[in-house]
Amino acid sequence: MKRSVHTARFDIVLRCRALAVACLFLMPPPHLRAQEPPTPQWRPALHFSPAEHWVNDPNGPFLLDGTYHLFYQYNPAGRVWGPMSWGHAISTDLLHWQEQDIALPATQREDIFSGTVVYDSQNRSGLGSASAPPLLAFHTSVFHGNPAHPDDTQAQSLSYSLDRGAHWQAYDRNPILTLQPDSRQFRDPSIIWYPQGQCWIMTTVVADAQLVKLYRSTDLLHWSFLSDFQPSGYRKPGMLWEMPLLIPLSLDGNPHETRWAMIVSVNPWSIAGGSGVQYFIGRFDGTRFTPDTLPPEGSDPSAYHWLDHGADQYAAIRFANTGSGAPLLIGWMSNWDYADTLPTSPWRGQMTLPVQLALKTVDGQPVLIQTPTATYEDLVHRQGVSAFSDRQLGPGQTWHAPLGGDVLDIHLTLRRGDAPRAGIVVRQAPDSRTGTVISYDFTSGNLTLDRSHSGQVGFSPRFSLAHVAHLSAPGGVVSLHLVVDRNSVELFANGGVLRMTDLVFPPAGSNGVSLFSDGGHTQFTGLRISAPAR
Ligand code: FRU
- The tally of domains found in the chain comes to 2
Span from the CA of 256 to the centroid of ligand 1 (angstroms): 36
CB 69 within 8 A of CB 165: yes
Q: Is residue 379 domain-resident?
A: no
Q: Where are the alpha helices (H) located in 408-475, listed in sequence order?
A: none
How big is the CA angle at 287 (ends 281 and 291), to the nearest 5 degrees? 20
Q: At which of 345, 371, 397 does a domain end?
A: 371
Give CA–CA dist 173/160, Å, rounded. 12
List residues near ligand 1 (CB under 6 A). Answer: 56-57, 73, 84, 113-114, 140, 187-188, 242-243, 314-315
Give CA–CA dist 71/240, Å, rounded. 23
Give CA–CA dist 198/518, Å, rounded. 58
Pocket test for ligand 1, best of 114, 203, 206 (most atoms within 8 A of CB): 114
From the CA of 205, give the closest atom in ligand 1.
9
Report helix, strand or coil for 250.
strand
If asked whether residues 323 and 427 sit together in one domain, one would say: no
Nearest CA to ligand 1 atom 9: 242
From the CA of 114, give the closest atom in ligand 1.
10
From the CA of 275, give the closest atom in ligand 1.
7
Q: What is the domain range of residue 93?
A: 7-31+47-371
Could you confirm whether 57 is annotated as catalytic?
A: yes
If asked whether residues 110 and 206 sit together in one domain, one would say: yes
pLDDT of residue 297: 86
Q: At which of 303, 337, 371 does a domain end?
A: 371
Span from the CA of 456 to the centroid of ligand 1 (angstroms): 27
If asked whether residues 97 and 143 sit together in one domain, one would say: yes
Question: What are the residues whose beta carbons fall under 8 Å from the beta carbon of 432, sequence distance 6 or more?
Answer: 425, 512, 514
Q: Is residue 512 domain-resident?
A: yes
How big is the CA angle at 261 (ends 257 and 264), to the nearest 5 degrees? 175
Which H or E element spans position 395?
none
Q: Is residue 40 domain-resident?
A: no
Q: At which of 336, 371, 406 does a domain end?
A: 371
Span from the CA of 520 to the centroid of ligand 1 (angstroms): 47
Strand pairing class (347-348; 314-318): unpaired
**DSSP label at 183?**
B
Q: Is residue 115 domain-resident?
A: yes
Select which of 111, 120, 242, 441 is catalytic: 242
Pocket test for ligand 1, best of 75, 188, 190 (most atoms within 8 A of CB): 188
Question: What are the residues whose beta carbons fall under 8 Å from the beta carbon of 314, sequence distance 6 or more?
Answer: 56, 57, 243, 265, 267, 275, 276, 277, 331, 332, 334, 335, 336
From the CA of 242, give the closest atom in ligand 1.
9
pLDDT of residue 27: 52
Question: What are the residues whose beta carbons fall under 8 Å from the beta carbon of 41, sequence distance 6 or more?
Answer: 406, 486, 508
If asked whether residues 426 and 328 sit together in one domain, one would say: no
Phi, psi of 381, rounded to the nearest 5 degrees: -75, -10
Q: Is the bond into 346 cis (omega within 30 degrees of 0)?
A: yes
If asked whether residues 319 and 349 sit together in one domain, one would say: yes
Could you confirm whether 52 is annotated as catalytic?
A: no
Question: What are the residues whose beta carbons fall under 8 Å from the beta carbon of 453, sequence distance 6 or more?
Answer: 433, 434, 435, 437
Q: Is residue 331 domain-resident?
A: yes
- Produce one character per residue of 339-355: b if its CB has 16 or more CB atoms within 10 Å, e if not: bbebbbebbbbbbbbbb
If asked whether residues 325 and 395 sit together in one domain, one would say: no
The enclosing domain of 406 has a CATH number of 2.60.120.560
If asked whether residues 329 and 433 sit together in one domain, one would say: no
If asked whether residues 159 and 231 sit together in one domain, one would say: yes
If asked whether residues 320 and 184 sit together in one domain, one would say: yes
Pocket test for ligand 1, best of 56, 210, 275, 278 (most atoms within 8 A of CB): 56
Q: Is residue 377 domain-resident?
A: no
CB 115 within 8 A of CB 156: yes
In angstroms, the Cα distances linking 161 to 86, 129, 158 are 14, 11, 10
> Sign (positive/negative) of CA torsion 449, 453, 456, 462?
positive
**DSSP label at 26?**
H
Give CA–CA dist 512/496, Å, rounded. 25
CB 527 within 8 A of CB 393: no
Give CA–CA dist 526/399, Å, rounded. 13
From the CA of 207, give the closest atom in ligand 1.
9
Select which of 52, 57, 111, 406 is catalytic: 57
Give me the sheet containing 436-441, strands edge to edge.
398-400, 512-518, 421-428, 436-441, 446-450, 466-470
**What is the tens place of the pLDDT at every residue in 440-470?**
999 999 999 999 999 999 999 999 999 999 9
Span from the CA of 126 to the centroid of ligand 1 (angstroms): 29
Number of other residues whose CB lies within 10 A of the CB of residue 382 = 10
If asked whether residues 343 and 468 sit together in one domain, one would say: no
From the CA of 6, give the closest atom in ligand 1.
8
Beta bridge partners of 201: 192, 216
pLDDT of residue 154: 98
Report helix, strand or coil for 198.
coil
If asked whether residues 120 and 78 sit together in one domain, one would say: yes
Span from the CA of 210 to the centroid of ligand 1 (angstroms): 14
Q: Is residue 427 domain-resident?
A: yes
Cα–Cα nearest to 46, from 378, 317, 326: 378
For the whole model, what pTM was predicted? 0.94
Span from the CA of 314 to the centroid of ligand 1 (angstroms): 10
Span from the CA of 57 to the centroid of ligand 1 (angstroms): 7
* Mean pLDDT, the chain cut into blocks of 10 residues (534 residues total): 40 44 48 73 98 98 98 97 97 98 98 98 97 97 97 98 97 98 98 98 98 98 98 92 98 97 98 98 98 93 97 98 96 98 98 98 96 96 85 96 96 98 98 97 98 98 97 97 98 98 97 98 96 74
Nearest CA to ligand 1 atom 8: 242
Cα–Cα nearest to 233, from 185, 301, 284: 301
Q: Is residue 1 domain-resident?
A: no
Span from the CA of 187 to the centroid of ligand 1 (angstroms): 8
If asked whether residues 160 and 232 sit together in one domain, one would say: yes
pLDDT of residue 14: 43
Pocket test for ligand 1, best of 13, 73, 336, 337 (most atoms within 8 A of CB): 73
The enclosing domain of 342 has a CATH number of 2.115.10.20
Give CA–CA dist 368/52, Å, rounded. 34
Cα–Cα nearest to 287, from 199, 205, 186: 199
From the CA of 336, give the closest atom in ligand 1.
7
